[in-house]
Structure 1
Amino acid sequence: MAQKRSGSPLDKAKLAVNFAGASVLAGLLTAGLALPAAGALGLTAKNTADSFDSIPADFKTPPLSQASYIYDAKGGLIAKVYDRDRTIVKLDDIAPVMRQAQVDIEDARFYEHGAIDLKGVLRAITKNAESGSVQGASTLTQQYVKNVFVEQAGDDKDKFLEATRQTLGRKIQELKYAIKLEEDLTKDEILTNYLNITFFGNQAYGIEAAANRYFSTHAKDLTLPEAAMLAGLVQNPSAYDPTLHPQAAKTRRDTVIRRMADLKHITEAEAEKAIATPMNLKYSPPQNGCITAKQGMGFFCDYVRNVIKTDKVFGKTKADRVKLLSRGGLKIFTTLDPTAQESAQKAVTQKVYAKDPVAAAVTMVKPGTGRILAMAQSRPYGLDAKKGQTQVNFNVGSDFGTANGQQVGSTFKPITAAAAIDGGMPATQVFSSPNKMPYPNMSTCNGQWVNVEGAVVPNESASEIGPYAMQEAMAKSVNTYFVQMEQQIGICSVKKMAEKLGLGVAATGKRIQQVGALTLGTESFAPLHMSSAYAAFASRGTYCNPIAITSITYGSKRLSVPKSTCRRVMSEKTADTINTLLLGVTQDGTGTQAGLTDRQSAGKTGTTDGRLNAWFTGYTPDLAASVWLGDPMQNREMRNITIGGTYFSSVYGADGPGPIWRTAVSGALVNTPASQFTTVVIPKPEPPKPKNDDPKGDDKGDDNKTGDNRAPGRGPGRGHGPGQPSGQTIAGPGGFSLPPGLGGGQADANGDNGTDGDTPAP
């Protein structure tokens, strides 16, 4: 197509209408619009000319609203987010037949006239006079200007009505701006802009979106019949909607084809063949927002969307950030691994059904990077609660969603252990660990926590009676052991380690509290928090804050995105020791049902009071994952309950979340070579050696010596003989020390019926 660039605005006006003087122009416009006489409206030639001159000439086209695309780590589309579904394309990305069809049906002399087609205006005047109807004479340039006004109006209804109102003033304004555009842009540029801005119905703005909507193809690949149908839509997208009015759409399409043949832009044979071609729609319904994401990716998509909405790197205000996402045409590339996501989604939905009374969520993180690899839930992302759907993301806290997390139970104990070991406590440390004890008073960062209510902490099982060393206590998840550990190192040390691991602020948005039960997981977190914290153990002591976005392009620009900051939070030796301890949990502790069979895996179970929540958080050197299971409303205890078709008399972290974790992680690592942890040797404490100077073995001891006989039901060497006053430290025969305030056992005269000496003193 030949094209020419116009000269000055005045020259362009002369070329366009072949006359000078705004009075004649006004008359033509008035007649063209079939308006009453200009005099009746008080529109004198001078007034019209003044109006024309008073319109600013610095017309600027705004950036077009475009859809933003969110992609996974392998380039797969997760979701498209938009106010208007539009993807801007270049001239070369629009099929020539599409460009020709649009020109032929809308403005056949587009490449011959200026901003105004004088012949078209005169033809419209004549036909209006003959028929009494109104026929416009707008050029493609003028129509483009009108579409710009519509685009600027956005969702403002008043501005939209003003932009589409057919008045003489509006026509004059369109004309002056059209003249300006014809001076600044080539014809091809104007046509390209027009095809990118115009509305084709069914939420499709611009030719690329239209090609995808109706034919599931790209604008550059449109055929003659397809192009003719789309070109015909522009005049009235509702009346010619092929999904609602297929016959009207075909008739209109054929009209475009005949018009192209009349203008000799296609042959008669091509026209007949195109007219004989069925419509062959391949309709792709509008796909807007995270609700359209597949493979359970809706919650990750929602997280990404909230990152952009909340992070000031994307704009000063929330409104600016929302506008950037929904209108900016961003290409957002994320960390989501489709293999890990698919595995996590299958694992969680196979074990927990959407309509179960409880829900489950799992988040996976790549150690040493902070990259979120997967985010899945048992309840689908959606609005239909009757189908078990929800838009609440249980994987995150209130900072990036609407959930407030849940208490994490014993999965918090490794944080206490990390604080203790990093502070110098040996992994062989033994505590008396009675079956039940009051919380002792403990030091905090700014004073002391006092158990004013006399709260008591029990172990899970009646058989869990100390003393215990650290490795066994971790494997069995002995509550009293970790409370005694917390007392010895102080709550402040635990709090500071939690902060280093990204757990200083609970999922509710509030800072964690320095209370005696902190080590037992009374604070609420989300799977994203816990998987990120445990990833620091996997990476030998380096914590990386979680990230979901790797890069964003904005047109030809590359935007800054939040980066993961990785920092050492504990020594490698501390992390290696924790890894050794948590390996024991999956090998012969409470987490055996979660342990992997093809590689090393470490982790920790967690169950909260009343069986309201159950957790398993674990990792390999290559992947960290956290699984939560429970009632989001915290009203339903997990006792005598059926979950995923399986009956549970009582749910634990091992048998509820554990198998979900194992299935999810196994699938995520299916093609990943097995890696090994760096472990340490933790010597087992020497068992107490019984003192027996009676060759018959019936020495009863006395009330002044350490007894050799144990209380009924106790293992060898665990008798501690006479108790000491509260506040003193005593030692049993094996050298097990008891912290102050935990002595107080008493032996009778025979030494065989005394208490064990490791229960709290009165």
Structure 2
Amino acid sequence: MAPTRPPRPDSSETPRLRADRGSAALRHTRHGATFLTVSVLSGVLLAGMALPAVGALGLTAKNTADSFDSIPDEFKTPALSQATQIFDAKGGLIAKVYERDRTVLTAEQMAPIMRQAQVDIEDARFYEHGAVDLKGVLRAASKNAESGSTVQGASTLTQQYVKNVNVEKAGDDVAAVREAQRKTLGRKIQELKYAIKLEEDLTKDQILTNYLNITYYGNGAYGVEAASQRYFGKSNKDLTVPEAATLAGLVQNPSQYDPKLHPQAAQKRRDVVIDKLQENKHITADQAKEAKAAPLGLAFHPPRNGCITAKAGMGFFCDYVRHVVKQDPAFGKSAAERKKFWDQGGLNIYTTLDPDKQAAAQDAVSGNVRVTDPVSAAATMIEPGTGKILAMAQTRPYGLDPGKNETVVNYNVDAAMGGGNGFQPGSTFKPVVAAAALEAGLPATQSYPAPNRIDYPTMKTCDGTWKNLATGKERSVPNESAKEFGPYQLKEAMALSVNTYFVQMEQEIGLCPVKQMANKLGIGAKASGKPLEEVPAMALGVEEVSPLTMANVYATFAARGVYCTPLSINKITRVDGRDVPVPPASCNQVISQLTADTLTTVLNGVTEKGTGADLGLRDRRQIAGKTGTSDQKKAAWFDGYTPQLATAVWLGGPAGGVEMRNITINGDYIPEVFGATGPGPIWRDAMNQALRGTPKEPLNMIYIPDPPPRTDPKSTTGPAASPGATDATPSPGASQRRPRGTGKPTEQP
């Protein structure tokens, strides 16, 4: 098939590539020895041209042939690394991440003028020779001999492609990249043999397409599509003649001809390419004149890579998704395999993040706490019954500049997922104790003396022994107010957050059921990764956790006892449309519906008549939740939910070391921060905005009778259960226990 004719001077026909056709040299490769001899000799010439000292080494054609034959015939081309795009649940782009910014195109997606310009400047006889251009070798050797140095090379485009493949295989291994680029005789011989193999297996058009996808064009752009977007802000298919010539000219030396840093050099190089196009009759003289008269027309788009480029507030969720991919065995059996999967990219990751709810959470934390405040706030939203993470926000922006109060530590998650060591949840942990007690058979009307202050009693641990693990200042526990003394039942004790009540409840059921319940609800360890400790103060929330963990605990209550592992990814597809298997959330009934509905009823009481009574939503829908404040006011929480949405909000010092007394937050002086006054309003603002326009679904609640009126409060300040209690020792309220699983939920599944 003959090359296509150049367009007439008055024609608007788009320049086209010469048709792919086999060359005499290529045909000879299939006959073996004849071409092999020529190839080896050509390789020696080519190597001698690049390495003048080769002759002095005494290397003969036989030596070279032996080396040639020893090279394995198999040449594997790697899947090219590409950019990955991360999307929210509505299809909006969150961020573009990549190790190498590249979008692989088919031949049909590439501008014909781009393909022709690259051929004309790099290897004008590409469609006429085989793996080695003998005429080019002789011409280059002659030029080099005349000058006494290496001034001209003769590597074919196919050989250049082989070298680029070796560089791609080296990845981010600097030493391996350097080795792939070394100009040695062995390297040249290897490239030659693999080039011969490629020209046997692929058509010329396929080789050119691969070359244009793998080649580096400078400024972090790999392949013609990334280069088109980087320098001109447009797709490769829309390139003009001068724009295509500019890109084609970059390949020889992307730094020297960088159009942003060296525009004059870039334009001069561009014009050389245009001259080549005219010389080879792929554009007319008039077209060349017009193209050379055009300005560079640079519309440079700086590389924007990674979660730091995410939409406002979404960088931390983007980073969380990265950790999920790199740690979930579904994406590779080993850490190295998962890293390769992420680094290679070419993925479209569709996440669970709801942009509207993300905006609600971000507006709430940013509207109540300033970036410059000594404390920060974080909020996570989860959909009950699915585990889907709908929002993840915090006041400190995602970034590396501490002068701007930026951080890459995600306060919403555990350390292993890009977070810190977590924060003490305070009284928001008390529902976990209540869940363990209800599952153990205690009734919703369970009563304890709950005096104003008690010493921590002896408690049973998971190893079956009874221990008093409290020491020093932590030997006793007071209630928040001097007016708080029992007896109390569960609903009232939760509403008022009575410390001594939950310590007595913990003492009755033992530390082990509390720890086991925490595990069931997703608190398998501290946020730092260290195991939970069996200590009496566990009931009061002294073991550091993350907002994501607590949001999912409360989502389990909202889902009537169904716990789902947190889910951040809905779907992953490759750029070619193939699906990547994504594990769904694992959902299991971890507590009975009765227990969950009882807790919802109790937690609704917190927001109706308890510490969270001022946090009602604008549309007056039913809510359930719990306030929490850690020891020394270093962390404050409000965790709550409706049937559709569970949200946990934390407020405190980023490193957990700020005592929130006599503090100014968002311009307001606050004598003392509590869960209801610090994170509570953030939660209310976030939920008001997130639930706007959604149906008002009622909570799943049961009837719990109110306790009898008190007659003599002073007589209820008796001692706590005896430290020497055993399994056989009656505990306060023991006669009121109900067998586990009795009772009937108000709504059947």
On whether the aligned pair clears a TM of 0.5, the verdict is: yes
Distance 1:586 1:136 in 2: 79
Distance 1:725 1:636 in 2: 33
**For residues 355-389 of structure 1, what are the alpha-carbon distances to aligned partners after superposition, in whole Å with 9 as ceiling and x for unaligned?**
32222211111110111112112112222222211
Which structure has the greater CA radius of gyration? 1
The 3 A distance-change label for structure 1 pair 7 and 406 is: farther
Which range is displaced more, 18-27 or 602-611?
18-27
Which range is displaced more, 255-264 or 136-145?
255-264
Q: Is the 8 A contact 1:124 1:135 kept in 2?
A: yes
The 3 A distance-change label for structure 1 pair 725 and 120 is: closer
Task: Report what 2:11 is aligned to.
Answer: none
Q: Is the 8 A contact 1:459 1:480 kept in 2?
A: yes
Distance 1:24 1:511 in 2: 68
Task: Report what 1:587 is aligned to.
Answer: 608
Tell me how far 1:639 sits from its aligned partner: 0.5
Tell me how far 1:721 sits from its aligned partner: 9.5
| 2:434 corresponds to 1:417 | yes
Distance 1:159 1:398 in 2: 33
Distance 2:257 2:110 in 1: 22
Q: Is the 8 A contact 2:425 2:543 kept in 1?
A: yes
Amino acid at match of 2:254: P
Amino acid at match of 2:600: N
| 2:706 corresponds to 1:684 | yes
Amino acid at match of 1:613: A
Q: Is the 8 A contact 1:474 1:582 kept in 2?
A: yes
| 2:79 corresponds to 1:57 | no
Task: Report what 1:705 is aligned to.
Answer: none
Task: Report what 1:612 is aligned to.
Answer: 634
Which range is displaced more, 316-325 or 12-21?
12-21
Task: Report what 1:510 is aligned to.
Answer: 530
The 3 A distance-change label for structure 1 pair 648 and 17 is: farther
Tell me how far 1:184 sits from its aligned partner: 0.3
The 3 A distance-change label for structure 1 pair 503 and 724 is: closer
Task: Report what 1:492 is aligned to.
Answer: 512
Distance 2:718 2:420 in 1: 49
Q: Is the 8 A contact 1:73 1:334 kept in 2?
A: yes
Partner of 1:275, secondary structure, is: helix
**For residues 71-93 of structure 1, what are the alpha-carbon distances to aligned partners after superposition, in whole Å with 9 as ceiling and x for unaligned?**
32223333333332222222222
| 2:598 corresponds to 1:558 | no
Q: Is the 8 A contact 1:87 1:208 kept in 2?
A: yes
Tell me how far 1:664 sits from its aligned partner: 1.9
Tell me how far 1:204 sits from its aligned partner: 1.1
| 2:203 corresponds to 1:182 | no
Q: Is the 8 A contact 2:136 2:154 kept in 1?
A: yes
Q: Is the 8 A contact 1:68 1:80 kept in 2?
A: yes
Amino acid at match of 2:704: I
Tell me how far 1:413 sits from its aligned partner: 1.1
Amino acid at match of 2:278: A
Distance 1:19 1:385 in 2: 62
Partner of 1:525, secondary structure, is: coil
Distance 1:262 1:726 in 2: 99
Distance 1:23 1:639 in 2: 82
Amino acid at match of 2:657: N
Tell me how far 1:657 sits from its aligned partner: 0.7
Aligned counterpart for 2:131 among listed residues 115, 127, 136: 115
What's the C-alpha RMSD, in Å, of the aligned pairs?
A: 2.9
Distance 2:238 2:158 in 1: 25
Aligned pairs for 1:647-666 within 5 A: 647-666=669-688
Amino acid at match of 2:450: S
Distance 1:163 1:198 in 2: 14
Tell me how far 1:572 sits from its aligned partner: 1.7
Q: Is the 8 A contact 1:13 1:115 kept in 2?
A: no
Aligned pairs for 1:419-568 within 5 A: 419-445=436-462, 446-450=464-468, 453=471, 455-554=475-574, 557-568=578-589
Amino acid at match of 1:120: G
Task: Report what 1:623 is aligned to.
Answer: 645
Partner of 1:138, secondary structure, is: coil
Partner of 1:407, secondary structure, is: coil
Task: Report what 2:312 is aligned to.
Answer: 295
Q: Is the 8 A contact 2:451 2:717 kept in 1?
A: no
Q: Is the 8 A contact 2:457 2:722 kept in 1?
A: no
Length-normalised TM-score, structure 2:
0.87
Partner of 1:399, secondary structure, is: helix
The 3 A distance-change label for structure 1 pair 207 and 720 is: same
Task: Report what 1:73 is aligned to.
Answer: 89
Amino acid at match of 1:53: D
Partner of 1:70, secondary structure, is: strand
Task: Report what 1:216 is aligned to.
Answer: 233
Tell me how far 1:175 sits from its aligned partner: 2.0
Distance 2:415 2:433 in 1: 25
Tell me how far 1:180 sits from its aligned partner: 1.0
Tell me how far 1:26 sits from its aligned partner: 5.4
Q: Is the 8 A contact 2:426 2:542 kept in 1?
A: yes
Q: Is the 8 A contact 1:17 1:118 kept in 2?
A: no
Q: Is the 8 A contact 1:428 1:685 kept in 2?
A: yes
Distance 1:325 1:338 in 2: 24
Partner of 2:588, secondary structure, is: strand
Aligned counterpart for 1:231 among listed residues 242, 248, 268: 248
The 3 A distance-change label for structure 1 pair 316 and 571 is: closer
Partner of 1:524, secondary structure, is: coil
**For residues 508-531 of structure 1, what are the alpha-carbon distances to aligned partners after superposition, in whole Å with 9 as ceiling and x for unaligned?**
223323332222111111001100
Aligned counterpart for 1:669 among listed residues 674, 678, 691: 691
The 3 A distance-change label for structure 1 pair 242 and 475 is: same
Tell me how far 1:436 sits from its aligned partner: 1.9
Distance 1:33 1:513 in 2: 68
Partner of 1:586, secondary structure, is: helix
Distance 2:248 2:559 in 1: 58
How many residue pairs are counted as aligned between the two chains?
Answer: 704
Aligned counterpart for 1:354 among listed residues 368, 371, 380: 371
Distance 2:721 2:385 in 1: 47
Distance 1:583 1:31 in 2: 85
Structure having greater relative contact order (Cα 8 Å, sep ≥ 6): 2
Task: Report what 1:91 is aligned to.
Answer: 107
Q: Is the 8 A contact 2:574 2:580 kept in 1?
A: yes
Q: Is the 8 A contact 1:228 1:254 kept in 2?
A: yes
Amino acid at match of 1:527: P
Tell me how far 1:421 sits from its aligned partner: 2.8
Distance 2:413 2:104 in 1: 34
Amino acid at match of 1:214: Y
Task: Report what 1:101 is aligned to.
Answer: 117
Tell me how far 1:283 sits from its aligned partner: 1.9
Amino acid at match of 1:594: L
Distance 2:272 2:59 in 1: 39
